[in-house]
Each structure stands twice: as structure tokens, then as C-alpha cells.
Structure 1
Amino acid sequence: MAFINSNNFETDQVLVEEHMFVKTLILNRPKQLNALSYQMISRLLELFLAWEEDCNVKIIILKGKGRAFCAGGDVAAVVRDISEGNWRLGAEFFWKEFILNYVMATYRKPQVSILNGIVMGGGAGASIHGRFRVATENSAFAMPETALGLFPDVGASYYFSRLPGFFGEYLGLTGSRLDGAEMLACGLATHFVPSARLSLLEEALCKLDSSDPLVVSAAIDQFSEQPRLKDKSAYHRLEIIDKCFCRRTTEQIIYALEMEAVNRMDDWISSTIRSLEKASPTSLKISLRSIREGRLQGVGQCLVREYRMVCHVMRGEVSKDFFEGCRALLLDKDKNPKWKPSKLECISDDMVDGYFSKIDDEGWEDLKLPPRSNLPVHAIAKL
């Protein structure tokens, strides 16, 4: 990953609109679906920290330019650095990204994220931790990391584990996509506003002189709707999801789904099984454990643990599936990754344990979270 020090370059990737008491941040890499570069993350963190101390800033609006809010972190750049022997550059990328996630989760002022388009991976981390998440009919949420040989990170083990029942395990393991109505139903979004009304919503927010969440919520409510879930929505399958994804191991989850498939003809069950069979077996195992541990941890603890995990993934000691997944899906695009180990039964508990241990490398240290005066406040914690 090239670290570019040009202030103009950094500023161009994150545009700022100034209003009386409101700052609007626009992610500005539309051709890359606003994938987060190191420069973008650094700029966002800098601005969030500065505005938290500015009494004239009451609300921060975050949105993306083009058809995506943010399609994730720029993992292709991370893989390029690691392939050149610079895994620590990748570690620095995730370090700064996770600090940004933590600052957002503990922010004293309302963050309103306008999720009008694709919201994936790092884009979820840059929005779900904030107080308000506004979905639209264009929203498309997913965390498809298990198909990349990674795992749902950016604090996903915190917010996935707080979704109803075992819906978070389902989303994290399968990488399934949700629309705006489903995001609202499960709590990933706090509001649903038709895209045609977004300009009116932003206009109303920019007139507010208050950081009171009740005042901000009331302003968003004026433009909100209660969308109807599609008949084939996975959210209608919560009973089956809870029955199968509550199981202790990935193998037991797949077996439970296969038993359901025997008892009923259901394309959704078949496609869910196929998604799990296509994913990296190593990713499935560490993802399930991560979300389960997240149920008992605060957001800071989740991010510290996920940082350990992502460093192990980048070092490729147990498996190099992250590099293979990026090759198959992002670089060569043959969509035919060759996972190693190739089967769930080949991955021992000791191998999984390794991803949760400290890195044995001189100079490496655990993620150091900045001191914060605010506890996580977003709505998922209150479901």
C-alpha cells in the first residue's frame, strides 16, 4: 500500500460540506465504490476527533458519492503490500481502521450515516457503530469476508452478536446480502427513508442546533417509512436460522441445515448450504468463534481480539486463504478459490485457537484503544 502524503489527495478522497452546526463527510472514490484507503481512514479519524472537541459541531453526516456508501476496505492494496513482504503495512491499515471504528462507537455526538447504496465490510464498520443508520430502497448490506478467506471484522463480532437470535451468525458465515427493509428489521439500520426524500432529510438535519439524539431521531422520523419485507426475505426464516445457527460448531450448523433440506423443499435452505460450502473452511471456523465470543464482550474487547485475528490472517501461518480468496475474487476473478485446508474436519481446535493468540513477532503489540469518556451508545446495543 502506497502511503501518499499529499494533503490534496487525502482531501479529495473525503469531501467536507460545512453547515452551521453540521458537518457532512462524503466518501469520494466512486469508481472504487468508495472502498476505504489508508488515506481516507486517516482523514476520517482526524476529522472525527477534531469535531468532537468543537462545540460548534452538533451532528456529523456521513455518506458516499455514487452508487455505494462504501464497499469495504481496500483489501487488494493490503494484499499487494503483504505479497511484497510488508505485512506490517497491512497491520497499520487495520490498526487505524479499528481505532476509527472504536471512536465512532464511543462518539459523544450523533453520527448519521446515509446508507443509500452498497454497504459492505469496512463500510459497515464506518456506519453501524454510529448512532443513526438510514437505509433506503437502494441499500445492499453484506459482510462476505468468509468468501475472501477473511472473517467479519471492523467490530462485526460485536454488532452481529447483538442481532435477534442467531441472525448475526447467519449473516457472518454465509455473507448473505440484505436490502434496506431487512437492515431495518434486524436493527442494522435505525431508519428507512426513500432515496427521493434524502435531500429533504439532509436539509432538515442541517438546520438543527442540537446534539440531542431524541431531537435528531425526531427529525429523521419525519421522512421515514416502514418498508415491507419481501416474501422471500431471510428475515422471515428466523425460526430455521435460530434452530440451525445456534449449533456449537460449523459442521453441526451445516448438518442441521441438511436435515431441514430433507424435510422440506426450500431453495433458501439449499442456497444457504451452498454459500457455506463455497466459503473458506478456516474462515467459517474462526468467524463462528469470533461472533460467539463477541456476545460476551464489549466493542473495545471485540476490536482488540479482531486485530489479533486479522494479523494472524495476514501472516498466513495456519492458512493462506486470504491471499487465495483475494486472488480468485478480486484479482484474477476466476471465482474458483482453492482453500487450504479444504475441509472443515481438517481444521483442529488448536489451529483455530492460534488465531486468537498474541502475535509472536518482535515489535508487535495488541491494539491500543484511545481513552474515551463515552460508552457505546448505538441502537444495536439496546435491541
Structure 2
Amino acid sequence: MTFEAVEQAHRREWAAVLAATMRLTRDFDEAEDAVQEAFESAMAVWPEEGVPPNPGGWLTTTAKRKALDRMRRADALARKLPLLVVPDGSPEVIEDQRLRLIFMCCHPALALNARVALTLRLVCGLPTSEIAHLFLVPQATMAARLTMAKKKIRSAGIPFQVPDDLTSRLPAVLAVVYLVYTAGSTDRALELATLLESLLPSPEVFGLLALIRLSVARSAARFVDGKPVPLAAQDRSLWDHEAIAAALPLVEKALRGGGPYALQAAIAALHASAPTYADTDWPQILALYDELVAVYPSPTAALGRAVALAEIDGPAAGLAEADRLSVDLGHYYLLHAARAEFLRALGRCPEAAEADRLAASLAPTPAEAAFFRERVDSRARP
């Protein structure tokens, strides 16, 4: 049970413990080392003395003590220069160290990929090896990227604080959490969105949290024996309907703002609320996609609109939209998967098979590539 308690504390408390320690050390690496040592101490002490009533407080105190020991041993207290800008006495919008950490990691001066990687490392506490796996790069490459991002924060004097103008900076934070979600690290994205909702409740935060919760609620039906299952063929009895019902009030609160995450959450809610695929409210989904494309004109949103249009006006209409998007989405495997479905419905099977082959060649995982290849093979059998 002790291992589970430490693991749970790691997921819940890492960001707060690291942020508190960084306020002391004003240095990333020293803070990370001290926090890691604190968790190692917990593995040694908690089995003997029991899990403390306040694990986060215990870990923070231990990490700070270890950081101070390191600084004293190096005589750092006398000669240390501040490597992070921490304005003294400046007003802060929200007094929470985790939120300061998130806004620092998501600062627009950093490249977007660097923001995502730093957030996974510093806010979620993921090891560099796991982040490298998500980005499909060698561990050494990711370690170098993280080091460069930290140097950028130091050299640019990016402050360890919540900005006064949350309206302009919040989209950058939400974009990072959304990328964590779309990269496949759904559990971590859910943690980040839940943390943001508790610290900074607002319509778009509600929308992103609802979108991720609805995705998690349907995850059990997305794969069978390791193979992806299309929405139309999913066993909806495997969906977590209680979790879906719990997410719907969040969607309602999100729609008061009408931003892109709220609209995506509303689309996901309509899919999740339909008893069967045939019962899906495609006209309402198309209307939401129309609004989404208007406020957030991304090619992937336009592809979702093409699928909804095909359900209403037929596969020829969907194919025409997909072909129009090929210039921007030719590298995206789901564009070719959608084209294959439209072409097959129109009886153009050889072209559909070629689109499936393209989807297989571009698929991000072996399981998805195998799915599209098998679809080609199954259609070729007499």
C-alpha cells in the first residue's frame, strides 16, 4: 500500500511540491533533484512510520530541507544569483504555486513543443524517457530539448508568476493541455485540466475538461484486442455512462463562453449521449462544426465537419469537402481514412483501397496501421 500512496502523492502533489521548492532554490535542476530525493525518502520512511496525514506537506518540507542542505554544502546561500525572476511584492492574480508553474512552462516565448515537454516534466513529473516516447524521439534528444527550454526561461527572465492579463495568456495554457490530450497522454491531460478547473474556473477550462472527460468515458470501447474500433461499430455498453452524465453539466457551463473547446465538448457530448450511432443528432453536430470552423478555422475541425455533412447530405458531399482539405491535410491519416469511407460508400472500391493504404502508411501507431491494412485485405477477399 505504501508504494500506491507514494505513486498517488506523485500524481497529485508533484507540481505543488516542485513549485514550492523552486521558490526556495530559484533553480530548476536543484529543485527537481530535491523533490526527487523527497519522494525517495517517502519510499523509505512511510513503510516504517506510516503515510502522513498530509503527504503533500510532508513532501514539501522534506524537499525544502534537502534543497537547503544542498545549497549549504555548496555555499550557495552566500553566492547564489537568482536564475528565475520572482518579483518581490508584486500582486498575483491567484496565490497558488502550481498555477505559477503552469504559466511559466506555457509562456509564449517558448516554442509550443517546448511548452508541452516542460509541462509534462515539471507540472506532471513525467520522466524524460516517457516524454521522449510521447514525442517519438530518443531520450537524449528530449533531455537536450528540456535543457534548452530551461535555459530559455533563465535567459529571457520569464517570471515565475501568474500574469495579470489572464485573458490573453490562458489560451496558450489550454493549447498545451490540449496537445497533451491529442498526443495520447489522456490521463495526464485530465490531471492538468482538472487542476486548471480547480485553480482557474472559466468557460474554456470547463470545455476542455469536459472534452477530455467525455473522451476518457468512451475509451474502453475504442480498442478491442488492441485494434481500434470506429465509432459506428463501438459497443456503447462499454462506455462509462455515469462519467458521461457527470460531464454534461460542465458542457453547459462551457457553452456560456462559446469558445473552441466548449464547442468541441458539445460535439463530444452529442456523440456520447446518442443511444446508438443511428440516433446521433448529425444536424446539431454539423451546426456546431459550422460554428467551430468560424471561431477556430483549423483543418481538423473542417474534416470533422465533412464527416457530419456526409451523414446528412451523403458521401459525395463529404468526399468533395475532404478533397478540398487535401492540400492542408494530405499528411493526416484520418483524412485518407475518411476519404476511404466516402469512396467505398460511392462504390469506388479501388480508390477506397488506395486511400486506406495511404491512411495505413501515415498512421501514428502500429495498431491503427494494421487496422487500415486489414480493411484493404478484407474488401479484396471474394
Structure 2-normalised TM-score? Answer: 0.28
Q: Which has the larger strand fraction?
A: 1
Quick one: higher RCO (CA 8 Å, sep 6+), 1 or 2?
Answer: 1
Larger Rg: 2
Q: Which has the larger helix fraction?
A: 2
Structure 1-normalised TM-score? Answer: 0.28
